[in-house]
Amino acid sequence: MRILTAKEVEDRLENKMESLLHEAIHAAKAAARSIMPLYLTGLKSWKKKDGSLATEADELAEKIIITMLGDHFPDYGFLGEELGSQGSKNVRWIIDPLDGTDLALRKIPMWAIMIALEVWQQIALGIIYNPISKNLYTAYRGGGAYRNNVRLHVSRVNKLEDSFILVSSFVKLNKNPFWPGFQTLMDKVSSWRGIGDCPGWMLVANGSADLGAHFGLGPEDIAAPKIIIEEAGGKVTNLAGGDTIYSGHALATNGRLHKEVIKLLHSSLTTK
C-alpha cells in the first residue's frame, strides 16, 4: 500500500477539521468530568524519572482521551505525556492530560487539558480546556483562534520598550545558555511576570501579554498553544527561531516582536 505524502494527508484532513475539533473537545470534556472528583477531594502525586510530578488524574485523563479519539480515528497515533508514543507518527494526537499539575495539586484553578493534532510534524489543530473556569480555547490551521467562540487576536505592540513578557521558570531559565540574552531582554521590556503553563500561553493569544518564554517543556506542552497563538496572529518557535515543538523550550510572541527578540537572544548567546 502506498504511503500518502504530507500534502495528500493535509488535503484529506482539510474538510474534517470541524469534526476533528468536535471530537477533541468531547474527549477533553469527558476526561475533565472523570478527574474533577479527584481534584476536589485532593490529588495524590508522585515524581517521575525526570523529576516532574504526576497524579492519578493525569493517567486517567490521558487514557480516556486516547480511548475516545482512538475509537473515532483508529489510524491516528498518539503522543502523551504519561503513556508516551503509540501508533502512527505521521498523523497523531499530542496530549497533555493535565497541564499545570503543580497548580492542580495546590488547588490553584489555572490548570487545563490540552490536545493537539500533529500532521507530518506540523500542528494542524489544538484545544485547551480549563474545567474550573470552563474556558475553552480552540484553533485549527487557517480557521482562526477562539476562546468560548469569541475570536482571539494577539497584541499590536511593536516596540520592546512597550512590551509585557511572561516567563515560565526562572529556575530552568538561569541554567539555560540563553540566560544572558534574557537578562538583556528583561531590561528592555516595559514589564515582566513569572506566569507559565496554559495561562501564560493564552495571555499572549488574547493580547494581554506580548511575549512569553517557556523552558523545560515536552512537545505536549507546546503543541496546542502553538496553533492557538499562531491562529490568533502570533508566532511560536524555539529560542533559536526554529519551527519545532521538540526543543524543550519555546518563545511565543505577537509576531511583530519575534525577529527582534530572537536576534537579541543570539547576540549574547553563550554555550556550556
Quote the Cα angle for 224-231-88, to 5°. 40
For 85-141, write each residue's pLDDT tens digit. Answer: 999 999 999 999 999 998 999 999 999 999 999 999 999 999 999 999 999 999 999
| pLDDT above 90 for 189 | yes
> What is each CA distance from 270 to 28, 60, 181, 187, in whole angstroms?
41, 42, 9, 18
The model's pTM is: 0.92
Res 183: pLDDT = 83
Measuring CA to CA, which residue among 189, 180, 137, 174 is closest to residue 28? 137
Angle at alpha carbon of residue 221, lines to 218 and 148, rounded to 5°: 170
CA 210 to chain centre: 16
Half-sphere exposure of 190 (CA within 13 A, CB side): 11
Q: Give the C-alpha separation, 53 to 59, whole Å.
A: 12
pLDDT at residue 205 above 60?
yes
Rounded to 10 deg, the angle between the 258-267 and 179-188 helix axes is 130
pLDDT tens digits, 43-71: 888 888 777 888 899 999 999 999 999 99
239 closest CA partner among 195, 271, 203: 271
If one compares 82 and 174, the residue with the highest pLDDT of the two is: 82
- Chain mean position to CA 188: 26
Cβ proximity of 138 and 226 under 8 Å: no
Q: Are 151 and 145 in contact (CB under 8 A)?
A: yes
> 6-143 is classed in which CATH architecture?
2-Layer Sandwich (3.30)
d(CA 201, CA 208): 10
pLDDT score, position 245: 97
**What pLDDT score was predicted for residue 271?**
46
Question: Which are the contacts of 193, defined by CB distance < 8 A and separation ≥ 6?
Answer: 164, 165, 166, 167
Q: What percent of the chain has pLDDT over 70?
A: 91
- CA R_g for the chain: 18
- The three grid cell numbers given for residue 148, joined into one nine-digit string: 468560548
C-alpha cell at 245: 515543538
pLDDT band at 1 (very low <50, low <70, confident <90, very high): very low
Sign of CA dihedral 189, 255, 21, 215: negative
pLDDT tens-digit map of 5-22? 666 666 667 779 999 999
pLDDT at residue 170, as a whole number: 66
Structural domain spans, the chain: 6-143, 160-267
Q: Which residues contact 151 (CB under 8 A, 6 or more apart)?
A: 144, 145
CATH of domain 160-267: 3.40.190.80
Alpha helices in 113-256 (DSSP H): 170-173, 179-188, 197-205, 219-231
Residue that is written with C-alpha cell 530572537 in the block: 262
